[in-house]
Amino acid sequence: MENTTKITAACVIENGKVYVNSKLDFAAEGSATSLDFLKAAYTHYQLNYPKFYKMDSLCKLAMVASELLMRTNRINEKYASEAIALIIANGASSLEIDTEHQVSIADEANFFPSPAVFVYTLPNILIGEIAIRNKIKGENTFFIFDTFDEDFIHSYTDSLMNNDKAKCVIAGWVDFYEDKYRAFLYTVERTNEGEAHTTTNINKLIDNKLNFERN
């Protein structure tokens, strides 16, 4: 079935494990903190992007997930930079780094707000970091929901694809707050291969039950 939208690759990161296309790819369950785990993943996958260390935890998580997605299906080689869109959501916004920034300005006698922390106090900066790293210049939007709204993200994605606003969409969820985290990102393309882009399949993919092997 050509000319229908398909989920072509996925990366899920949760509980000290990284899944690529529903298969366990890396585990570092022994990590003391979530941050340690993300740094371990960075080293394991040899991301080789020193800016990673300067990012807040939310962006670090987004960096690892998006990087693995890019490596899996090389969309940034297949499409023009303006043809790739980013539609990502989360629940905790940028509260993790907001809190850190607040602590740094709470004491009037020791008042040294950090510009490098401040620039991360918006959740959509994670979309910006993915875009900067991969030179993606298509439509990008960040949403905040209580929980992942697969119906909304699904229809938003299809609308972009059907109106020729994007040839490929990176969609999903990247959330990090109080040492808890979860990320799942997937690519949607118009192709013969892959799983149909449906809410049922999006949910399967989140639970790592989507079978990418069949094709």
Partner 1 sequence: MEALIEQLKQEIIAQLNLDGLKTEDINPDTPLFGDGLGLDSIDALELIVLLDKNYGLKILNPADGKKIFQSVRSMAEFISENKK
Partner 2 sequence: MSQKIYVTGIGLISAIGDNVEQTLDSLTRGKTGIGELELIDTIHKTRIKVGEVKHTNEELIKRVGLPADTKITRTSLLGMIAAKEAMMWAGIKDTNDFRTGIVSATSVGGMAITENNFNDYLNVEKTGDFLDYILTHDCGDSTEVMAKYLHIKDYVSTISTACSSSANSIMLGARLIKNNMVDRVVVGGSDSLSKFTINGFMTLMILDKEQCKPFDKDRKGLNLGEGAGFIVLESERAAAGKEILCELTGYGNSNDAYHQTASSPTGDGAFLAMEKALRLSGLKPKDIDYINAHGTGTEVNDLSEGTAIHRIFGDAVPMISSTKAFTGHTLGACGGIEAVLSVLAIKYNLVFPSLNFTNQMNELKFRPSTVLETEHPINHVLSNSFGFGGNSSALIFSRH
Which residue matches tokens 């690759």? 9
Q: For residue 46, state whether it binds partner 1 (rule: CB under 8 A).
A: no
Of 188, 212, 208, nearest to 19 by C-alpha is 208
Q: Does 116 bind partner 1 (CB under 8 A)?
A: yes
Residue 128 is which amino acid?
Answer: G
| Residue 104 touching partner 2 (CB under 8 A) | no
Q: Among 1, 2, 53, 213, indicate the residue that binds partner 1 (CB under 8 A).
A: 53
- Out of 4, 81, 102, 114, the residue judged to bind partner 1 by CB under 8 A: 114
Q: Where are the beta strands (DSSP E) in 97-167?
A: 140-144
Q: What is the closest distance, in whole angstroms, from the C-beta atom of residue 121 to partner 1 in the complex?
A: 13
CB of 113 to partner 2, least distance (A): 7
Q: Where are the alpha helices (DSSP H) in the chain?
A: 34-44, 57-73, 75-78, 95-106, 115-118, 125-134, 150-162, 199-206
The residue among 32 and 53 lying less far from partner 2, judged by its C-beta, is 53
Contact status: 80 vs partner 2 (CB under 8 A): no
CA distance 208 to 198: 15
Question: What would the x/- binding string for partner 2 be over residues 124 to 153, using CB under 8 A?
Answer: xx--x--xx--xxxx-x-------------
Partner in contact with 17, chosen from partner 1, partner 2, none, beta carbon below 5 to 8 Å by kind? none
The secondary structure element, H or E, covering residue 9 is strand 5-14
Cα Dmax for the chain: 65
Applying CB under 8 A, the residues found at the interface with partner 2 are 81-82, 113, 115, 119, 124-125, 128, 131-132, 135-138, 140
